[in-house]
Amino acid sequence: MTFAFARPLRVDHPPDRRARLYRFGALVGAGFRRWSTYRQAALAGLFTNTVFGVMIYSLMRALTEDGRRPGGYDAAQLATYVWVGQGILSVVHAWTWNELADRVRSGDVTADLLRPIDPFEAFLAADLGRAAYAVLARMLVPVLAGALMFTMYIPQRPYTIPLFVLSLILGTVLSFTLRYLVNLGAFWLLDARGLGAVWLLASGVFAGTFFPLRFLPDWAQVVLWFGTPFPGLFQIPLDVVVERPGPAQQIGSVVLQLVWVAILVPLVLRVQRAATDKLVIQGG
């Protein structure tokens, strides 16, 4: 049964770039609409994000007693870090994502491979749509809630907000690419849950969602920033928005995210090719 699906990815894309862009945009819109139907879930999520925000910020504020600056942040910067952090958690979505792995296990992935669009591109578009919806439904309210309850740091440099938007988009693309890579593991293991658990743990700790990575010793920071893509998911966008580093390093860190995207996307495409080459359809 494998022959018919062995090389579907080599199907030539339509040469027209505008058509391709239009198609990508349509898929982004579909992703947005799909998630916008879960309004109740968004409300529940807002409540949870807000509770967690208060808890995490309470801990952070306790660390700044007596005017201490843990990791070089002051109390207001930490407030922004925590609340914008709660907001972008569900935008970046560095959590469990099993859509592709489930389709591999059930065999539905054959349908994705027959379509005249690379599955990576199609799933990425849908994920960007989901992220766009999350910005509206999940990010703005926790940030407002935090601003009402606590003193937050307001960015001073004029280019910080656009840079943050770019950094957030790159963080989402990085997060998606890594999630996709984990799911591709299902082509070999059939059950990618174990890999998913490793990913969940790594993305939680090494991205800076538990605590800002600047709390760590210098050597650990160097290893994480230059040896892994994880800070790009969460820590870099947040450092950009609280202007923790100077302008040069602030822009440099976004370039670092770009470098990781440039490394990981071709890698994922290669792994995907290897995966589809060895694909055996389940239940066929």
Query: Could you give the angle at the alpha carbon of 113 between the alpha carbons of 107 and 118, nearest 5°?
Result: 140
Which span (61-69, 120-128, 169-177, 268-276) binds another protein, by CB under 8 A?
A: 61-69
Q: Is 96 in the site for another protein (CB under 8 A)?
A: no
CB of 194 to another protein, least distance (A): 3
Q: Is 147 in the site for another protein (CB under 8 A)?
A: no
Size of the residue set binding another protein (CB under 8 A): 40
Could you say whether residue 43 binds another protein (CB under 8 A)?
Answer: yes
Binding segment for another protein (CB under 8 A), chosen from 5-13, 40-48, 79-87, 122-130, is: 40-48
Q: Tell which one of 30, 36, 52, 169 touches another protein (CB under 8 A).
A: 52
Backbone angles phi, psi at 45, to 5 degrees: -65, -40
Residue 281 CA to residue 273 CA, distance in Å, equals 15
Site string for another protein, 172-201 (x = CB under 8 A): -----------------xxxxxxx-xx-xx
Residues composing the chain: 284
Stretch that binds another protein, among 210-218, 226-234, 247-255, 265-273 (CB under 8 A): 210-218
Residue 274 found at the interface with another protein (CB under 8 A) = no
Under rule CB under 8 A, residue 38 binds another protein: yes
Is residue 45 at the binding interface for another protein, with CB under 8 A as the rule? yes
Cα–Cα distance for residue pair 14/269, rounded to 1 Å: 18
Q: Is 47 in the site for another protein (CB under 8 A)?
A: yes
Check binding of 223 to another protein (CB under 8 A): no
- Of 46-54, 173-181, 232-240, 246-254, the segment contacting another protein by CB under 8 A is 46-54
Q: How far is the CB of 52 from another protein (least distance, A)?
A: 6
- Of residues 64-93, those binding another protein (CB under 8 A): 65, 68, 70-71
Q: Which is nearer to another protein, 160 or 212 (CB)?
A: 212
User: What is the distance between the alpha carbons of residues 16 and 26, in angstroms, rounded to a whole number?
Assistant: 16
Given the rule CB under 8 A, which residues bind another protein?
A: 38, 40-41, 43-45, 47-48, 51-52, 54-56, 58-59, 61-63, 65, 68, 70-71, 189-195, 197-198, 200-201, 204-205, 210-211, 215-217
